[in-house]
Structure formats: C-alpha cells, structure tokens
Amino acid sequence: MRCSSQATPQPDMTPLAIVDIDGTVADARHRLHWITGKPTHAEWVGFFNAAGADPVLPHGAELVRQLAHDHEIAWITGRPERIRGLTEHWLARHSLPAGRLLMQPEGDRRPAREVKLEQLQKLAGEAAIDLVVDDDPRVIELLGEHGFPTKLADWLPWSPVMDFHGE
C-alpha cells in the first residue's frame, strides 16, 4: 500500500520505509525523568543530550533491518536538529541502516506529529512511501488520516510525555 498523496513512483524506484527513532528503535525511558511535569528549556536540553546513552530496542532494530532488504530507509524523529550528530552516531553505533534523517527544525515547538506529517507530505512528492513506523498512536492516526500506510511500534509502552514540543 502506498501513500495516495505522493508522486507516481518510477518502476525502478526503491520504496521508502520511514522509521521513528525514540520508542521505536531507541529506548528513551531512562531519560524521561528530565521531562516530567512541565519541563523547562534546560530540562528538554538535558533530555535530548542524554539520547546517546539510549539502549537499542531489539524488536525495532530487527524490523528496520528486515525492511532495509527491499526498502530505502529514512528516519524521522521529534529530536531537535541540534543533536543530529549525536543521533547519526547512535544509529551507526547500533549498526542500523543508513538513510535520510528528518528532524525537528530548531525553534519549531509544534508537536512532533504535526512536523512529521509536514515532512512526510513533502517527501511523498519525491518518493514512494511504502510504510511509516512510529510508536505514538497519535502520529499513526494522523498519518493514516492523510493516506500514509502505517505500523504502530507497540513493543514498548508509549508515553505521552514524549510529545517533543517543549524545547
């Protein structure tokens, strides 16, 4: 199933699988203590700066490795652009497939789901999006409403505090 809002894919195009990071392949639970209640800017900074210590989620890592056999992988995350290097290093250290990395633009405080939808709508004009995997049921619902094929990453309990719009 392909997203209906995308350009017509060329026969030789490898379809895209878009994969979220936190809660899908990265276990961010050890850093949730930074953002309980109404987090300050400094607490959001601490939360994101600790992302390099995230354990890998085996189920999510295995899924993305399987998808990489017949899909181009693109990563999408609510992490801010300022930790791009940390995130790229984390992905490589865990031997996860290389791919385009879509991140929350600096200073953009919209909920991650809104930014992800916007980014995917732009990307759909360039490539055939075959699947989007995310742990946030609100992201899955919103993307599904816009015609994107989705899979809920349900191997970890989802936490609404990970709605990255506070930094």
Over the Cα atoms of the chain, what is R_g? 15
Distances (CA, A) of 119 to 42, 72, 95, 103: 27, 16, 25, 9
- Predicted local distance difference test score (pLDDT) of residue 22: 95
Specify if 9 maps to a domain: no
The pLDDT, as a whole number, for residue 11 is 52
Domain span at residue 110 reads 16-162
Q: Is residue 1 part of a domain?
A: no
Residue 128 falls within a domain, yes or no? yes
Nearest to 140 by CA among 63, 165, 57, 132: 132
Structurally, the chain folds into a number of domains equal to 1
Question: What parts of the chain have a pLDDT lower than 50?
Answer: 1-9, 166-167
Measure Cα distances from 158 to 20, 47, 68, 120, 152 in Å: 13, 17, 25, 22, 10
| Residue 2 within a domain | no
With beta carbons less than 8 A apart as the criterion, state whether 101 and 87 touch.
yes
Specify the pLDDT at position 127: 87
What is the token pair recorded at 27?
């276990």
Report the pLDDT value the prediction gives residue 164, as an integer from 0 to 100.
54
Is 10 part of a structural domain of the chain? no
CATH number at residue 142: 3.40.50.1000
Residue 137 inside a domain? The answer is yes
